[in-house]
Chain A
Amino acid sequence: QVQLQESGPGLVKPSQTLSLTCTVSGGSISSGDSYWSWIRQPPGKGLEWIGYIYYSGTTYYNPSLKNRIIISVDTSNNQFSLKLSSVTAADTAVYHCARGNWNYWFDPWGQGTLVTVSS
């Protein structure tokens, strides 16, 4: 079964760029029916969809974040990545990667990684 695991720094300074990678195991990231997504959850708050990438490189971003986001895919390593620029404390959250399908059903999810924005 497909499993996802996030990795990256747990602490980022304000105004810098947050960078995370999601490694997919148990299946191919080039699966034609999967939309590889990032979703975040600020501590004690709800979930916010960040965006997704298709294995071909097509992306779709949350309109409220799209000016600061780049999601990329590395099919040779079965990974996809998130870059979020100009971060502030409001970007502190647990960042999850997840597999989505055509109707935006996200399953499974990675365990999530906490990223704190602080100087």
Chain B
Amino acid sequence: NFMLTQPHSVSESPGKTVTISCTGSSGSIASNYVQWYQQRPGSAPTTVIYENNQRPSGVPDRFSGSIDSSSNSASLTISGLKTEDEADYFCQSYDSSNVLFGGGTKLTVL
């Protein structure tokens, strides 16, 4: 079964840049779109990146997404970190039979 693996947690200081990876277990992650969601405690997930690298309106350009076929992974990069970016981040994609989420990465901005 296709799985998406994320680091459990990352931390960085305000103003810095952090990258969260999402690695596909098999096949090619580039075959289907990857979305990234932000979830703050007690709230529903909201989209920060869709279709690999697209930002919904209202999401600052500090958020960017990319795909690296050589490592079969997707990445979410957040630059100019703010304390308000502290949240859980989930990647999501799909294969021929299922929709899959990564396990989530807790971002701490300290």
Contact = CB atoms under 8 A, between A and B. Distances in A.
A14 B104 CA distance: 28
A15 interface: no
A104 B33 contact: yes
B110 interface: no
Interface in B28-63: 32-33, 35, 37, 43-47, 50-51, 56
Interface string A95-111: 01000000111111111
Nearest to B103: A46
Contacts of B102: 46
B44 A62 contact: no
Contact of A47 (B33, B90, B98): B90
Given A46-B104, A62-B98, A106 B33 contact: no
Given A46-B90, A49-B98, A62-B98, A105 B103 contact: no
Contacts of B103: 46
The interface size bin for chain B is 20 to 34
A107 B45 CA distance: 9
Interface residues of A, number: 17
A42 to B, nearest CB: 12
Contacts of A108: 44, 46
Given A105-B33, A109-B45, A48 B101 contact: yes
A32 interface: no
A48 B101 CA distance: 7
Interface in A51-99: 62-63, 96
A62 B100 CA distance: 9
10 contacts: A46-B103, A46-B104, A47-B45, A47-B90, A49-B100, A63-B97, A104-B94, A105-B33, A105-B51, A110-B44
Nearest to B43: A111
Given A103-B32, A104-B33, A96 B47 contact: no
Interface in B61-78: none
B56 A112 contact: no
